[in-house]
Structure 1
């Protein structure tokens, strides 16, 4: 299901990230963690995509280029009132599309490993796996997941 998106922007809006994270503080840790994500949202080191629907910000993704071949998903946060409507998946597809067009071959993300952190993280790994990510490494407190980005010609044919 493709969500109805009224607006997608690349602008940086740390206050929007703070608002979304504050509404879901139970998922993203304490104030220091939230403050760190908010600072990242204002940093030119990170690319930002913001989805607006019904005149409200509904989701944000922050990514950054780690290596020429890879783009890391640093943060995905979706307004809890519209969870499971496709906005998170839409943001991942947009980020993957932009990464592929910029020459990246892989999209990566780190999530807390099972049994670590808050129970709210239980479905996070399943969300990424449902969006084509596979586990690569589970040493330490996180699991590294990755999604192969096909060659641009194959990517455009599949759209």
Structure 2
């Protein structure tokens, strides 16, 4: 990883109440009323607590769910999948590997041509880094995920 990605007390204490509820207590933010559900900018999404690179805009799509949805993580080692039996359902929870932040859930109703998965992620668990800011923010290694055309959008 280009920068040290780990959970710190300082990072957790700087979260907004909603970010804390989502990442530390496994809450879910409202659909269609969150920061990134309709973000079309080029860049990467990192764990708001640890800074782990999680998803790229190149793998984001409109699932019409009201939350940011992705077909794959940037690096599968940065996410942990756990069985979630809350609310009388069996789902697969997505957590960040180093930050142990609750991110959302993964479902098998994503685009078939891209593997069939839908990582349905809470915006409150994410920080977006625009492609033109990758180097400045310490994520320059991920520049290769984007074409020059995407960096000018």
**TM-score normalised by L of structure 1:** 0.25
More helix by share: 1
User: Which structure carries more relative contact order (alpha carbon 8 Å, separation 6+)?
Assistant: 2
**TM-score normalised by L of structure 2:** 0.25
